[in-house]
Structure 1
Amino acid sequence: MPTAIILLLIAAGSVLFHVLSPWWWTPIASNWRYIDDTIIITFWITGAVFFAVVAFMAYCVLRFRHRDGHKAAYEPENRKLEWWLTGGTGVGVAAMLIPGLFVWHQFVTVPADATEIEVMGQQWRWGFRLPGKDGRMGTADVRHVSADNPLGLNPDDKNGQDDVVIDGGDLHLPLGKPVKVLLRSVDVLHNFYVPEFRAKMDMVPGSVTYFWFTPTRTGTFDVLCAELCGLAHAQMRAQVTVQEEGAYQAWLQQQQTFAQLSGRAKTRTAQDNGAD
């Protein structure tokens, strides 16, 4: 009896701890409330299964405990029970999978009016690129990455000359406008994650992944790497600030373009050659 009671208390306590826990999600700041809803559905389904399994264990401990003069019955299979367990498992898995498929479809279906930005991950820093006045970003390739071109922009692509390059700084975004985030990595797997946005995606070397979201609340939020990427993984941080359109444009005008950074690099090279 004590063992059965302890098992039931563990099951009930685990569920109550999650429901009453003060360690809950941060307030959402994007359009992805669907992510929260899907997680809640998954929690209740898995929580119910967990409770049922532990309760069944408690029942078995109590019901089939050793008793003097009682002989155990050998029952190697129970087809009726197997059908119920198989059917219940199938319904539970479908209930978790179907909402996720709908959310995933929305997650990768980017609105036509979304603005493209780029995030570059490398050990252990973030780089960001925003389109310039022409609204288009130039091409990039890791073969172009250098100290003077940390994001690897193609210097021969005219569309990239006015791209805004932020290396090691913070990202700013306008409020209420959809953003398609293009993700690249220079070295190892990274993962661009802002908890308040509920959206993240692995950054795979040699490929470009993406997701989209719409910022719905102004403020400054922490950027984390959600993929173990080496010794200083925990220090790979930045910030993203969501602003009203006017404040965002004022900030954007103060940032340097790829052409300006390239010009400064050429000037430094010429000065160094002259000094030699």
Structure 2
Amino acid sequence: MAVALILVLITVGSVVFHLVSPWWWTPIASNWGYIDSTIVITFWITGAVFVAVVFFMAYCVYRFRHQPGRQAHYEPESKRLELWLTILTGVGVAAMLTPGLFVWRQFITVPEDATDIEVLGQQWQWAFRLPGPDGKLGMTDTRLVSPDNPLGISREDPKGQDDVIIEGGELRLPVDKPVKALLRSVDVIHNFYVPEMRAKMDLVPGQVSYIWFTPTRTGTFEILCAELCGVGHPQMRGTVVVQEQKDYQAWLEGQASRNFARLAPAVQ
């Protein structure tokens, strides 16, 4: 009886803690509320299964507890039970996977009007590249990466001459404008993660991955590396500053001294 009661109390306590817990996710600041909805659906399904299984265990512990003269009934298999368990498990897994498939399709389908930016991760700092007045990023090559050209930008590509290079971990973006972040790493695997944006993706050496999102409110949001990348991993942080379009444009126009054409002559 005591064991059954403990199981019930653990289950009820877990549900109550989940409902009143102060450690919920941060307020969302992008279009990816779909991810929150998918997580909530998963929590409800797995939570219901958790409650049902533990309550059933508590019932079995109490109902079939040892009593003098009682003997266990041996039943090696039950095809009917196995069939029902298979069906219920399949329905539960499908219910969790289906919303995720729709969200994943949106996650990988970049809007045509999205602006390309670049995020470069290296132990243990972030660097960014924004398109200049032409609105396009120039070509890069990992073989061109050097202390003088940390992003590996091709000096022969005219599209890259006006690219704005931001080192120091502060990325600025306009509000309500979709962006496609091209993600690169020059050493080990990193992960670009802004909790308020919900979107996150690995930066893998030797390849260019991407995520896209639309900032939906202004403010300053922290960038984290969500992949263990060495002893300096906890300090690999930055910020995303989301501004109104006019403020962002004024800031971008003031970054002429940071475009690649001006930086390149000093390293040639």
Q: TM-score, normalised by structure 1?
A: 0.94
Match runs of 1:78-117 below 5 Å: 78-117=78-117
Task: Single out whichever of 118-127 and 50-59 deviates more from structure 2.
Answer: 50-59
Cα deviation for residue 143 of structure 1 reads 1.1
Cα deviation for residue 64 of structure 1 reads 1.6
Question: What is the SS of the residue equivalent to 2:16?
Answer: helix
CA shift digits 1:162-197 (9 cap, x unpaired): 101112230000011010111111111111000000
Whole-angstrom CA distance in 2 between matches of 1:15 and 1:120: 41
- 1:144–1:154: 8 Å Cα contact kept in structure 2? yes
Instruction: Please name the residue that 1:145 is paired with.
Output: 145
> Unmatched 5+ residue regions in structure 2?
none
* One-letter amino acid of the counterpart of residue 160, structure 2: G
* One-letter amino acid of the counterpart of residue 78, structure 1: S
Question: What is the SS of the residue equivalent to 1:238?
Answer: strand
Question: What is the SS of the residue equivalent to 1:22?
Answer: coil
Instruction: Please name the residue that 1:133 is paired with.
Output: 133
Cα deviation for residue 4 of structure 1 reads 0.4
Instruction: Please name the residue that 1:274 is paired with.
Output: none
Instruction: Please name the residue that 1:17 is paired with.
Output: 17
Task: Single out whichever of 112-121 and 53-62 deviates more from structure 2.
Answer: 53-62
CA shift digits 1:106-160 (9 cap, x unpaired): 0010000000001011110001001111111111112111111111111111111
Question: What is the SS of the residue equivalent to 2:181?
Answer: strand
* One-letter amino acid of the counterpart of residue 25, structure 2: W
Indicate the RMSD between aligned Cα atoms, in angstroms: 1.0
Instruction: Please name the residue that 1:263 is paired with.
Output: 265
> Unmatched 5+ residue regions in structure 1?
267-276
Whole-angstrom CA distance in 2 between matches of 1:29 and 1:208: 25
- 2:141–2:153: 8 Å Cα contact kept in structure 1? yes
> Sequence identity of aligned pairs in percent?
69
* One-letter amino acid of the counterpart of residue 260, structure 1: R
Task: Single out whichever of 256-265 and 4-13 deviates more from structure 2.
Answer: 256-265
Task: Single out whichever of 99-108 and 150-159 deviates more from structure 2.
Answer: 150-159
Cα deviation for residue 12 of structure 1 reads 1.6
- Report how many residues are paired: 266
* One-letter amino acid of the counterpart of residue 259, structure 2: T
Cα deviation for residue 83 of structure 1 reads 1.2
Whole-angstrom CA distance in 2 between matches of 1:129 and 1:227: 22
Match runs of 1:197-216 below 5 Å: 197-216=197-216
Cα deviation for residue 254 of structure 1 reads 2.4
* One-letter amino acid of the counterpart of residue 119, structure 1: V
CA shift digits 1:38-83 (9 cap, x unpaired): 0000001111111111112111211221100111110111222111
